[in-house]
Amino acid sequence: MLNYLLTTLSFIATITTLALPQTISDQWYVVPTISENNVASLTVLPSIRLKPVPYKLDFDWGPSTKAKAVLIMDYDTGQVLWQKNDTAELPIASITKLMTALTALDYITDWNATYTMQPNENALGGASFSAGNGDEFTKHDILKAALVGSANNAAAALAHSTGLTQDQFVQAMNAKAQQLGLRHSHFVDPTGLQAGNTATVRDVANLMRTATYQPTLLAPLGQIEHRMIRQNNVEAAHEIVVRTTNRLIKNTDPFVLAGKTGFTYEAGNCLVSLATNPAGHKIIVAYLGADDPTVRFEESQTLIQWTYQHYNWP
């Protein structure tokens, strides 16, 4: 009955050119919602009125997607614009590094200080940057290697460079999640390699929103590459280049300002993106669990373009 009522209200909104929030009331709005098995419905959410909020222009349900979960969020207000399977708590792989970086910001005050890479960090599997045991880098370079290149040895080193043990750092990550209201997120290591790093797609969007408020984190999330040198051997021949894992950044997608990739076999292919249109209206697209590594980029692009075509900002 509720879905029938909402469908009727949406139709009225379409033919009268009123926004859906205006059709219902000033306190509620409806969001196109897709379930895990791709059944379409409408979800009623409380309206955010602290700032002018975007409103839907029509009754288009949005594009199909192969992801396990997706959420599109207005950056300025946090209003949800489109969602699929938003309550599922899923592995998020290297998107975990956003929380690692945010937590490190609470402990590191001198980003020009150096840190010496340890064997247990360089022994980690998955993506890494070409550091040797005993190599010294600035903490800022290590941060950028973790976010630009999604390097697992850099993420572990960043955590250890705070002076905390790994267990203490993970506790700090989970405390930070609670502080930020990410109540459906849980972290077990700073790299994202373990399947126990989980979150809902809504928490991922809010995590990206918080991280990109920080200029120290926003910059590397939008870099194509980062060049760094070993501080204990500064000859040019020892320069290390860390390149982005994000095809949308590498190909300079005109909408995408920043993003973070993730992949493990348990999580599938994940991506969270910060995008903007020529008018400067920003959105976040959080995308979890695609089987194909290319699909996450293609479908995120489609979702970004669809949002700017079907929503208007006052």
Q: Per residue in 192-220, pLDDT tens?
A: 999 999 999 999 999 999 999 999 999 99
What lies within 8 Å, CB to CB, of 110 at 6+ separation is 139
State which H helix or E strand residue 199 sits in. Answer: strand 198-199
pLDDT tens-digit series, residues 286-295:
999 999 999 9
Q: Is 210 strand, coil or helix?
A: helix
- Structure tokens belonging to residue 207: 């995590």
Mean pLDDT of 63-69: 95
Percent over 70 (pLDDT), the chain: 85
pLDDT for res 3: 46
Domains, the chain:
96-191+214-247 (3.40.710.10)
pLDDT for res 81: 96
Model confidence at 6, pLDDT cuts 50, 70, 90, reads: very low
User: Which comes out higher in pLDDT, residue 251 or 36?
Assistant: 251
What 3 state SS string does 135-177 have? Answer: CEEEHHHHHHHHHHCCCHHHHHHHHHCCCCCHHHHHHHHHHHH
User: Could you give the CA distance from residue 24 to residue 22 in angstroms, rounded to a whole number?
Assistant: 6
Asked whether residue 16 carries a pLDDT value surpassing 70, the answer given is no
Asked whether residue 17 carries a pLDDT value surpassing 70, the answer given is no
CA distances 74 to 1, 99, 226, 237, 286, Å, are 29, 20, 29, 45, 12
pLDDT for res 44: 63
Nearest C-alpha neighbor of 158 from the set 210, 99, 208 = 99
User: Could you give the CA distance from residue 131 to residue 231 in angstroms, rounded to a whole number?
Assistant: 12
User: Could you give the CA distance from residue 189 to residue 206 in angstroms, rounded to a whole number?
Assistant: 20
State which H helix or E strand residue 51 sits in. Answer: none
Q: Go through 225-246 and write b for each residue having 16 or more CB atoms within 10 A of its CB, e for each that does not.
A: ebebbbeeeeeeeeebebebbb
- Structure tokens belonging to residue 228: 């760094």
Lowest mean pLDDT among 8-17, 73-82, 289-298: 8-17
CA 10 to chain centre: 30
Mean pLDDT of 28-52: 68
- Structure tokens belonging to residue 64: 């199909």
* Residue 242, beta-bridge partner list: 226
| DSSP alpha helix (H) spans, the chain | 2-16, 20-24, 96-105, 119-122, 139-148, 152-160, 166-179, 201-212, 215-221, 247-250, 295-310
Mean pLDDT of 262-276: 98
| pTM across the whole model | 0.86
